[in-house]
Amino acid sequence: MYDQMDQNKMTVELFCELVRHDAPSLHEGEIAAWLKKWLRAELGLELEEDETANKIGGESGNLVCRIPGELPGPSKLFSIHLDTVEPCRNKQVVIDNGMIKSDGKTILGADDMAGAAAILTALWQIRKMGTPHSDMELLFTVAEELHLQGSRHINPGWLKSEIAYVLDTGGAPGLAVNSAPGHIDFNFKIRGKAAHAGIAPEQGISAINTAASAIAAMELGRLSSGVTANVGRIEGGSVTNIVAEHCEFTAECRAHSIELLMAQADNMRSCVESACQKSGAVLEVERKRSYLPFKTAEDSISAVLFRHACNNLGLNPVFAQGGGGSDLNHLVQLGMEGIVLAVGMENVHSCDESIKIEHLHQLTSLVRELMTIQRIV
Ligand SMILES: [Zn+2]
């Protein structure tokens, strides 16, 4: 079916096939079925599904394909997420001047199908040519775009690998994210007391004023410590002649260390608590830790192998700090060390999303190199 010698052509063909499937978060059933069929038909490999579908109300759980190899050294995990953000239905691929795009009505899905196309092509090529490779696990997660919900539900012990390569960030292949922030989400509900705004305002407690003082007291934006914090949505009150009884707002913070993350979250919460105490309003807080931060040393095994693989291919290896979470945040909690690889996708989460064919090819070569490179002592 595929031309054994033409890795480049195969990656583009597979990419176009993969993005043809609609896969919004929680609706990954179709793409999961296609993957199962493809791996079985082309390589005689099976996918194992975990229990996550039931836990998050999705069509598919996380999927893993375990492939024993001939090379000594640590088992390597290669991971992508199956879901995409909307609008993603009925995607039409346009190839123009070395660039792959959508027709402008939907996202393209290079996030994260560029990684999938590279992994499948690299695997197909090394298996068909009999190239020795490491023990590997291919991980396909679901609902990544919903605050990493899929990978959050992976049970300890389900994955056996020691190192992880998550193919899921922008930038040209050769770039790797080796540190990413943790993330905490808040929903604050403030209940004051309604009163006529003209006749008896002193009998009321304004939930809106309380929220305003709380938010004004918070440190938001990018702080000197590198922490970021934001209020995302606010709503409350009813009509102008009533002192607002209810006000609700959401907020988040991110930080590259657990200590800074917890300190910022505690501070944001105490700003709201103080404002409520002062006004007499009642507070209800939902605080959710989406994921914890991680930092992988540049001399860790995953990073060293990556650097060697890049050098072998003439790519310039660069390590960078990420601004958001990825499935790796959860994989690190499961005991793995790893990095997030840039896949070449551009303008993600927009209808202008694109990827250069050259980057897709470089990524495939990089994955192939990582699958077959031996541990360097
Ligand atoms: Zn992604």
Non-local (6+) Cβ contacts of 277 within 8 A are none
CA angle at 133 for the pair 40 and 297, rounded to the nearest 5°: 115
Residues 286, 142 share a domain: no
Decide if 370 contacts 131 (C-beta within 8 A).
Answer: no
Residues 58, 35 share a domain: yes
2 within some domain: no
pLDDT of residue 7: 79
Return d(Cα 83, Cα 105) in angstroms, integer: 18
pLDDT in tens, 21-73: 999 999 999 999 999 999 999 999 999 999 999 999 999 999 999 999 999 98
Q: How far is the CA of 87 from the centre of ligand 1 (A)?
A: 15
Q: How far is the CA of 112 from the centre of ligand 1 (A)?
A: 5
Banded pLDDT at 362 (limits 50, 70, 90): very high
Instruction: Identify which of 300, 317, 298 has the alpha carbon closest to the alpha carbon of residue 308.
Output: 317
327 is catalytic: no
Amino acid, res. 116: A
Residues 147, 121 share a domain: yes
Return d(Cα 221, Cα 230) in angstroms, integer: 6
Q: How far is the CA of 128 from the centre of ligand 1 (A)?
A: 29
Residues 301, 273 share a domain: no
Decide if 151 contacts 330 (C-beta within 8 A).
Answer: yes
pLDDT of residue 339: 98
pLDDT in tens, 142-156: 999 999 999 999 999
pLDDT for 376 beyond 70: no
Residue 252 three-state SS: strand
Q: Residues whose CB is under 5 A from ligand 1 (ion)?
A: 111-112, 168
Residues 332, 268 share a domain: no
Q: How far is the CA of 111 from the centre of ligand 1 (A)?
A: 5
What does pLDDT average to over the chain?
95
Give the end of a domain, one of 291, 311, 335: 291
Total count of domains within the chain: 2
Name the active-site residue from 144, 252, 327, 369: 144
- End-to-end CA gap in the chain: 39
Residue 143's CB: how many other CB atoms inside 10 A?
28
Q: Domain containing 92 — which CATH number?
A: 3.40.630.10
Q: Taking residues 211-238, report their average pLDDT.
A: 96
Residues 256, 286 share a domain: yes
> Taking the model in full, what pTM does it have?
0.89
pLDDT of residue 224: 86
| 141 φ, ψ (degrees, to nearest 5) | -95, 160
Residue 6's CB: how many other CB atoms inside 10 A?
12
pLDDT for 4 beyond 70: no
Residue 216's CB: how many other CB atoms inside 10 A?
10
83 is catalytic: yes
pLDDT of residue 282: 98
Extract the tokens encoding 258: 């657990």
pLDDT for 366 beyond 80: yes
Q: Taking residues 234-240, report their average pLDDT.
A: 97
